[in-house]
Amino acid sequence: MSLNAVGKEQAQQLAAIIHTEPKAIYSSDLIRALETAKPLAEKFGLSIVEAPDFREFDFGVLEGKGLEDAEVKDCRREHANKDFSAEWNTPMAEGAETYNQVVARFTHALTKIARKHPGGTVVVFSHMKAIHTFMRSLLQCGDNECERLGNCGIAYVDIDLDEEKLIRFIRQEVSPLGAYNSNFRLPFKVSTIPSCL
């Protein structure tokens, strides 16, 4: 599904507020993330590297169903009542990824990117649920304890291949559009950005 008019405008606004030229731009290979990444890539004359590891959370049999669907509500409610270990190691629905699987693929992909672009700023475009799950793993917080990124929100992480704690959460801007001045800079090595509407 492509971005709607609002999403396309948000992607343009996001590109306009980022003034630090990244070494590279990576994106989920799903169309919405690619379309969100395109204005930034065009701004700096960079190609977008498609990376399936940054795809949205795989919801299995729930894929494509809205949050108001009764089956989705039941699965989410049941899953939320599990203890931490069961929540992270059990799929929400048949065929769905576990939270730990999402974190593993993000960690693997970010590690590869850090090795390829040491010491540089890289921008990664992904999707809200996948990023939220990854951020929860870094912050060790419950689903309702971690603030969710809004459309075109920015989460900053630092990757240091020499440190024991490979990936550190720095901060996030939940809804950055209109909030930054013209001097906004990406201050950290890797930023993960969810696609817009």
d(CA 23, CA 49): 12
Task: Write the CB contacts of 30 (distance below 8 Å, at least 6 apart in sequence).
Answer: 55, 56, 127, 195
Strand 122-126 relative to strand 167-173: parallel, antiparallel, unpaired? unpaired
Q: In the CATH hierarchy, which fold is given to the domain comprising 5-58+97-194?
A: Rossmann fold (3.40.50)
Mean residue pLDDT of the chain comes to 78
pLDDT at 105: 93
Per-residue pLDDT for 155 more than 50? Answer: yes
* CA-angle at 167, arms to 111 and 114, nearest 5°: 30
Dihedral-angle region of residue 57 (phi above 0 means left; psi in -120 to 50 means alpha; beta otherwise)? beta
Type of residue at 190: V
Classified as helix, coil or strand, 25 is: strand
Domain boundaries, the chain: 5-58+97-194, 59-96
Per-residue pLDDT for 29 more than 90? Answer: yes
d(CA 29, CA 63): 17
What the block records as the tokens of 126 is 């992904």
pLDDT at 118: 84
**pLDDT per residue as tens digits for the range 156-193:** 788 777 765 566 655 566 555 544 333 333 433 344 44
Neighbours of 134 (CB within 10 A): 25
Structure-token match 């801007």, residue found? 173
d(CA 160, CA 147): 25
**pLDDT per residue as tens digits for the range 59-103:** 888 887 777 778 877 777 776 666 656 678 888 888 889 889 998
pTM of the predicted structure, to 2 decimals: 0.80
